[in-house]
Amino acid sequence: MTQKVIHRLSVYRRGLAAVQARDPRRTHVFSHEIAALSGLGAAQVRRDLMTIGFTGSPARGYEIAALVTAIGCVLDHPDGLRVALAGVGNLGRAMLAYFLVRNPHISIVAAFDDDPEKTGRVLHGCRCHAVADLGAVCAGEGVQVGLIAVPAGAAQAVADAFVAAGVRSLVNFAPAPLRVPPGVAVQDIDITTTVEKAGYYARHGAGAPPGPAREEESAA
């Protein structure tokens, strides 16, 4: 299951949730509707659903509830995803606020920062620990994903600490590539780079007029 498929499945699910919320009576959707909701082509949607072995009917399309469940089987952890956050700066606090409400199956269970003003405090309902305790706390909490929102200079050390604590999947907001051992996944969210890309397209136009250019940032 490739990175790109995973990503689109997550997008499809969000679109389906929106449909369910807007009109709870709707039970089925067609591929071209999912496509419109996601900004993609219908063939792409059908191909992706084929990849996860989900099947619809020509007459009614795909059953929404069943499809949401099927996507959940691929994406979600049965008991919810336990995430830790390193770096409680502006961006880190935004993450805390964001995931506090959001997604019922994702929760930030611990935060880490070396600022003594923050350590020991509870921010957005999340306890902030010293970075030195990262290993012990993550192991104790059964953390599965680490969010790295520290300055670039500290990112590699934090990544190493997560890896040592047995965390096998990281999301990196720091503008530096992480070195991790095989078997550990990294998703990069590189804001500077993305804004620079946007700047490029502001100057050079968005490619071929038929169909607006579109791309998405993320790394494994």
Partner DNA sequence: GGATGTGAACTATTTCACAGCC
Partner DNA sequence: GGCTGTGAAATAGTTCACATCC
Place of tokens 């659903």: 49
40 binds DNA (CB under 7 A): yes
Joined tokens for residue 110: 């611990």
b/e per residue 63-83 (b: at least 16 CB within 10 A): bbeebbebbeebebeeeebbb
Question: Counting contacts by CB under 7 A, is residue 97 touching DNA?
Answer: no
Q: Which does 69 bind (CB under 5 to 8 A by kind): DNA, a second copy, none?
A: none
Contacts 24+ apart (CB under 8 A), 28-31: 28/56, 28/60, 28/61, 28/62, 28/63, 28/64, 29/61, 29/62, 29/64, 29/67, 30/61, 30/62, 31/56, 31/61, 31/62
Q: Are 167 and 139 in contact (CB under 8 A)?
A: no
Which range touches DNA (CB under 7 A), out of 49-57, 84-92, 100-108, 175-183? 49-57
Q: Which of 9, 12, 38, 49 forms a contact with DNA (CB under 7 A)?
A: 49
Q: Is 134 in the site for DNA (CB under 7 A)?
A: no
Q: Which stretch binds DNA (CB under 7 A): 25-33, 73-81, 156-164, 175-183?
A: 25-33
Q: How far is the CB of 133 from a second copy (least distance, A)?
A: 21
User: Residues 6, 10, 20, 32: which binds DNA (CB under 7 A)?
Assistant: 32
Nearest approach, Cβ of residue 71 and DNA (Å): 14
Residues that bind DNA (CB under 7 A): 2-5, 30-32, 40-44, 46-47, 49-50, 55-59, 61-62
